[in-house]
Amino acid sequence: MRSLLVKNAHTIVTCDDFDSVFTNADLYAEDGVIVHVGATRTHAIPQDADTVIDATDQIIYPGLVNAHHHMCQTFTRNLPQMQNLELFHWLTSLYEYWENLDAEVMYYASLVAMGELIKSGCTTCFDHNYAFPCGGKGFLEAEFNAASQLGERVALARGSMSLSRKNGGLPPESLVQTTEEILEDSRRCVEQFHDPSRFSMRQVVIAPCAPFNVTADLMKESAALARSLNVRLHTHLAETIDEERYALEHVGMRPLAYMKSLGWLGEDVWFAHGIHFNDDELDLLADTGTGVVHCPISNMKLSSGIARITEMIQLGIPVGLGVDGSSSNDGSNLLEEMRVGYLLHRLKESDHAPTGYDMLRIATRGGAKVLGRNDIGRLEAGCAADFFMIDMKRIETVGALADPMALLATVGYRGAVDRTVVAGTTIMEHGRLCGIDEEEVAHKANDCWRRFLKKHE
């Protein structure tokens, strides 16, 4: 048994069912699972453990859950020619780069993306890779390796594209596979990597890319396979008006009606973006328990629009937060995402907008919910000991303690958090990742990135 005691915290924001906030509090965990959390004097918390962390002057938050990413895009970020494009043009320009993805690129891009996420308090990450050139040999293996080296909890997509340009889709022939190839490899990935148990560190999601690059047949078959293997389903939906036009033109339906016709609604499904839903479609999402992951920075960068998050929360639609791919962000910082999302909705909706604490709930419990998990996203007995800490002695937080629940979205927090813990183990401390030599990885990753870009010349 491995025990952890975090003692004398200034504040613990739990995001539990009662929105409990404890001051002068302790957290005690055994084997990565919280046993007690609460005020120091009122709980019978053991005062010793294998690992003891002094949390004096620290605020503790539940680890953030990133519910949508494309980590490989870290190697195609900040390309000057991509900076002023909207989704369809942006995608068709980037496909030419993604044709050259390989397992080494996936590994280093994942290390870099998750490294930045961990520094911004993210303890669980879902990655949606859908580009598998030449079958994408070793891609999921590389991503899982990077995650276990860093200590991050992950869910990884076996994504896919099957509708190429010549058949009316967007991607080139080099990036699509047949339905049979995709389903066979999807099954292999689930059987090889997916751990369904509580506190699982690695899960697999079946995630065709989007209606404009996946055939109806693959969408239907993917849903059937996911349900037979008891894993979750994910895709991009209602991201742009271009997509809406495409769906009306090609299948004669709006995107959500099309997904409904393919069996893609339910509590085991969540969509990325979900910007262009009308009132009836929001009701349908609520009635079926279908989730949405909000990616405000990407939506602003690609001029896609503003998702109706306020209404989604009011209707009880499960909503998570995601940074989306590093090429439309152009980074992997979930704390920044929270603040930008908060400000975006303030601008749009004034006093109806989500509060700072609402944004924290979306980024923690909301993300856990869309990933189908009730063991992460909150700090309470029986949940994973996944959390991060912020030192209140920093001048950036002076005068901001009036509302610790809202602080991360209202005031914001720039730079690395002070400690990130996953399953009771510290994976980032004093701004440095524990699992890797950052200078060495940065050097090797930049070499790999140069080689990758050279292939495109």
Instruction: List residues near Zn ion by CB under 5 A.
Output: 272, 324
Q: Which of 129, 134, 156 is nearest to 145 (CA)?
A: 156
Q: Which is nearer to Zn ion, 60 or 163 (CB)?
A: 163
Q: To 5 degrees, how large is the angle CA 193–CA 196–CA 201? A: 65
What's the Cα-to-Cα distance from 229 to each of 37, 184, 204, 239, rounded to whole Å?
35, 13, 10, 28
CA terminus-to-terminus distance, the chain: 54
Q: Which is nearer to Zn ion, 64 or 272 (CB)?
A: 272
Query: How far, rounded to the nearest angstrom, does the alpha carbon of residue 207 sit from its chain's CA centroid?
Result: 14
Report, in Å, the least distance between residue 54 CB and Zn ion.
40
Report, in Å, the least distance between residue 67 CB and Zn ion.
11
Which residues have a Cβ under 8 Å from the Cβ of 375 and sit 6 or more positions away?
198, 199, 368, 382, 383, 384
Q: Which is nearer to Zn ion, 324 or 337 (CB)?
A: 324
Report, in Å, the least distance between residue 324 CB and Zn ion.
5
> Do residues 324 and 375 touch, judged by C-beta distance below 8 A?
no
CB atoms within 10 A of CB 397: 17
CA distance 365 to 377: 4
Q: Is the four-CA dihedral 102, 440, 204, 213 of positive or negative sign? A: negative
Report, in Å, the least distance between residue 128 CB and Zn ion.
6
Q: Which is nearer to Zn ion, 304 or 410 (CB)?
A: 304
Report, in Å, the least distance between residue 293 CB and Zn ion.
9
Q: To 5 degrees, how large is the angle CA 109–CA 111–CA 115? A: 120
Query: Which tokens in the block code for residue 299?
Result: 């939506």
Q: Which is nearer to Zn ion, 239 or 268 (CB)?
A: 239
Q: Which is nearer to Zn ion, 127 or 386 (CB)?
A: 127
Report, in Å, the least distance between residue 52 CB and Zn ion.
41
CB atoms within 10 A of CB 84: 9
Q: Which is nearer to Zn ion, 272 or 359 (CB)?
A: 272
Report, in Å, the least distance between residue 244 CB and Zn ion.
17
Report, in Å, the least distance between residue 274 CB and Zn ion.
12
Residue type, 105: V
Give the CB-nearest residue to Zn ion: 324
